[in-house]
Structure 1
Amino acid sequence: MGRAEQAGLKSRSITRQAGLRLIFSLGLFVLLLGVSSYELYSIALQKSAHERTEDLASFYRGRLTQLDREWELQAGDFKNRLEFTRLLEDRKISATNLQAFMTVQGANRRFQHMLIQKRDGDKIFDFGRALDIEGISLPSGQENGWYRSGTGGKLYRVFVVPIWLGDSGNGRMAVLYEIDNALLFNLATPGITLTAMNGGSFIASSAGQSGLERDNRSTADDVEAKEIPWSPDDAGNTTLRIEAPIKVLFSTTELVVGAAAIPVVDGLILWFTLGFWLMGNSRRIKSLGSAVKEFAANNRPTAALEEQLSLACGRQMDEISEVACAIDDMAEQTHRLRFQSEALLRRNQTLMQNSMDGIHVLDIRGDIVEANDAFCRMLGYTPEEMASLNVADIDAQWTAEELQIRIKALIGKSAKFETVHRRKDGSLIDVEVSVNGMEIDGQCFLLASSHDITDRKHAEQMQRESERRKDEFLAMLAHELRNPLVPIRNAAHIIGQLGLDEPKIKWAQELIEGQVNHLARMVDDLLDVSRIAQGKIMLHREEVELSTLVDQLMQSVGQLAEDKGIRLVVRLPEQPVCLLGDPVRLSQVLFNLMDNAIKYTQEGGRIELVARMHGQEVEISVQDNGMGITAELLPQVFDLFQQDERTLERAKGGLGIGLTLVQRLVGLHGGRVEARSEGAGQGATFTVWLSAWEQPEHPAVPDNAGKNSPTAGMRVMVVDDDYAVSDSTAMLLELEGYTVCVADTGQSALEQIPVFRPQVVLLDIGMKDMDGFAIVKKLRELPEGRDLCVVAVTGYADEKTRSLALASGFSYFMVKPMSFDMLRDLLARKVGTVPDLV
């Protein structure tokens, strides 16, 4: 009812109304005392009787469960006895023997009937009272149920258990217990009548036939009745009816005292205590109401408010006094909080408007409820225009439906994400949005702060572009560095092939080859560090013996150590040690460790390579007695471009990437590496741990690959636009006995192939007039080139170029400068597995 409607009502004193009602209630109380006492007594008695009946029902539920469990155990026990005799496994044993067995059981057989069926339901044997039953069919997975005889109307509890029938496999044994008067009589407690019901029919009663006849009539008023299901899985079809007379549920003393005491005592206490108390409190409540009106009118503490609250409190400390004190406190706090909230509102508005980020508030529909000046400036809208927008109007990354889903998901949560806002002029800006979902007065809002990250995004794009250009530069650098290495290596090899005995010439040839190999390894290391950092390197794992890797290592570094007079000591386990890894990369790890040790060990020093097995791990240590590592440098020894004692003379040489590459390659293999040193001049030890691989037993297979002599006169075409590369390669091949044809353009190569009919083509990918991918595509279209062995030769050693080359039609892939031993092996075989990058 509104205030206008209340103003039209006639004012009445609550004190006067209370007095009149109390006088009238006295007479009414005397009149209704007798009726109410009897009704209260009846209600209380019925409720108590019902509660005690529920207790009885709980008792009999447990008793029925116990009975079912006993029957089920008896059925299982009898089944075990019958299986033990193995009478059912022999088809020749007659039913007479089974009947004799059943008779002998005596007291152990408590059921009234038994039925044995095959799996398909055919009856094999039955025993007990004559029943019109051929089989028991229960739902799949159900082990007990009910059976009601069609002739006598008797009810049986059925338990079905699997039983072994020998050759017939598993069958089913059904045991039936009759629900009769004697059973219920044994279950019932004194004074309680139990009746079994099935499908609405009375089956048996603890009171015998008289109990069944009485159960067909309605229950008397002084008897409490309760029906419970016989078992939880019966769904109420078979129930047990419990009848308990009230005189059995209560003693005579309880009935008499309850009937006499309740109405008299309650009535007298109600009258002599409530009347006077109610009249006094009516006056206090009236004062309390006046105080509330005063507070509502002024919304602040006043003298009139204090007076009315004092009258309401009186001289008592009860709920009315507490309400009066609460109103007084509320008036004070409301006045104080109102002042604080106004100050806080002004401060928050100032902070919001002066924030550098765009702050805005969204409702549950995504409408912009409020936005600060920074947000309006960010998007180019006026405050009035912004108030009419929805978040879908300014967000360019998600649809309106997606935004609604995100808004609902953020209610009551906090989140930070990046998105794209659309300005009024249509331009886009990248922003980072921080959102807090909250509920205010039952309404959901999102407080969002948008930070312009356009500059950061631009910087990230520039960084990605810089990384891309760096990769392209490194790849081009490697290609351009490898190209001049090819003729240098070829020239050195040609000098060796000429068989000149002059010591100085032989020394120069070995020096050139060694330096070419060293420069090629430096280029490979530089590119590998870049590829590992970007996750672009792939391992080609296979089984490899540690001894094989060490033998190759000694061949590579033996001359370096000998030149400095360094003694190399190798200690390997007696048993072969196998690793599962990329043999090229593992060789790279060992070479870099050994090269580092040689570099920092003085002439006449000693380096040990020791391998030990620790369970499933292999520990490989490279220890030297050289310059050692200072304590300051040791934590950064694996950092990129880190060298000890870097000077203008660069006495130790190198790029400072070898140990970085070791750490990252070992990490790719799932291992770890550690550096130890006692300090400057104390030597250093680098230890690598790798997982061992259990070597399967294979029969030894002789490896004749690469040892075949080249076919005399094999025709090889060299296609390269760098004359130094093509001419030196051709000369080297001719010294080996091959017939060589040189082409310096892709077109000339395609024209000479039908005439020269080569068996192998060495094709440079980076041709100027036509790249190698286009050449091999056209070559494969020629009849002579369809099955031709074409080897891609390039300075680009990355996995992407290798995969693209093989997919474009190349047969093999080799990296400049080529290892002539591998090239000789390839030409000798002309078929086989694709060699790894050289």
Structure 2
Amino acid sequence: MPMISFGQLADVLPEPVLLVSADGLVVAANQRARKELGGVGEGQPLFELCADAREHIEGLLKRSARVRQPTLGTLTLKGGRRYRVEGAVVRPSAAGAPAVVLLRLVHEQAALAAFVELNRTLEHLRREISAQRRAAEELERQREWLRVTLVSIGDAVIATDVEGRVVFMNPVAEQLTGWTEAEATGRPVAVVFDAVHETTREPIENPTGRVLREGIVMGLANHTVLMTRGGGETPIDDSAAPIRSADGGVIGAVLVFRAIAERRALERLAEQRLAALVLADRRKNEFLAMLGHELRNPMAAILTATTVLNTPDEDPEAAAYAAAVVERQVRHMARLVDDLLDVARISQGKIALRTEVVDVSLVLQQSIETSRRLIEAGRHELHLSLAEGLPPVMGDATRLEQVFCNLLNNAAKYTPPGGHIWLSARGDDGEVVVSVRDTGVGIPPELLPNVFEVFVQGDQSLHRARGGIGVGLALVKRLVELHGGSCSCASAGTGMGAEFVVRLPALRDEGAAAGAREREPAARGERLRVAVVDDNHDAAHLLAVSLRRWGHDVVVAHDGLEALELVRRARPDVAVLDIGLPGIDGFELARRLRREPALDGCTLIAASGYGQEVDRQRASDAGFDHHLLKPVEPAALLKLLARVSPSGRAASEKGSPDGT
């Protein structure tokens, strides 16, 4: 029987395989290599086939000629096709002859199929050897070539016999399992290939068991971890397949696997990003909860003020103060509701500030009044030390009041009954420094670095007894940082009280500060005929009272159809229309009024609880001249009325203080 040549054996491989001398000349090539490399032949320089630099090719050959284990590299053909190359020495250099290197241009997905086919070839060779003893030497050489080929595969390979005992391991499998081929040969594959589930740590059935029983190809279970002989762990995946004889019987199994630590890292990164999205959603919900929490204080102040206003024969000074409290707290609540409407800002964790020149002393006094009920309920003594002549700051007075109210409330909640609270403010090198100190429960050292994080709390018994959702200090930190300032906390430990310090950049230019202060405009302009249309009777009545106090004549309607007839008869100079009216809504009412020639000079003002740009545009399209957001700011309405003359529409171009 003729000897089997390299080409005859290598032609069964689905990938290009070359034998190349260390000096770069092709010794032999299989059929696939001749097809893909354009008819490469014996003696042809490898450098002529490749587009890589000569130094790159020489380096690959030199590395491959040193060891019989696979050496990884790349080659790019002249046509631009790129291969991952695995090379190993077949014949070391001897007697002046250069070493011969096997280069395999590996297609990763074809590795398993190639191995199964090679084992089928091996079985065929064994049958030939039993029939023809003269081919023994050639067969041994072919087996060596097969071994080198398997060694050159980048994945780990374990082959078993029909009983599931290890008959072969390549070096990658040795490295991953911790077993040498000599130690593993003859042992059950389940001993060498010990795999568990990544999460449950339960043993996973060795895939070669089903392969040998059922003759099927199967993949490993998801989240598989290979337990190495030395106690290490390696995440892996891949598959197992049967090795069949020429008559189709299963004579063994091949297990091909690879380490996937890098892929696991990418999966963990994806999980982290998903967790970040979940956290962002939680932050949005926390923000909504935070606003709901902050609405309680102004609601309590308003409720108390209405009690004062409803008391018969109440002192006029007390009644005036209660009215001012209601106005200030309603403004506060309106601003918080504005934040709820801005979905994008909430989801990004942003709070926009409406800055003006702020008198910190005045804000602190207002904060004390807002927090006084909670302080008095705890029978605490409040000590004040407010330096005279505090410089103003550029900021949002409502937000700063939130900051100081939260700090005072926090001190009151966490201080046992009958405690002491100190509030001080001073100027310090271009900053306004406000301190809130208490004799409360203090803060443990391990909690102190995270005290400004959302939901971070210590002993919650006192806090929960007084209400709250654990977001006050997080709100303080965010708002202070938005003002360009900083906040810090100090405590000697549990039971030793705590001190919170807020630093805000002072406004140095007093002249600019005085000029920047906004003053509510006084009512001016001529006496006007004003129609007020609102289905909320209380709101309509109170607005009518205010307009009459400002010197205007007022008529009132409570639904759209009634208003249409009223405005036709009264022919007012200004009509303030609610949008959500029964009968016909404010948009339709405005469109009908604009079709009345006799009302061409009437200025239409929309009063709406919807303040996004699409709502303003819709009001403009319906015929409104201006758009005011509820609750209507008296100052804004006064400015609009001052620009209207009794004889016609607005005395100036369209536009309003709110930018419409």
TM-score, reference length from structure 2 = 0.46
Rg larger for: 1
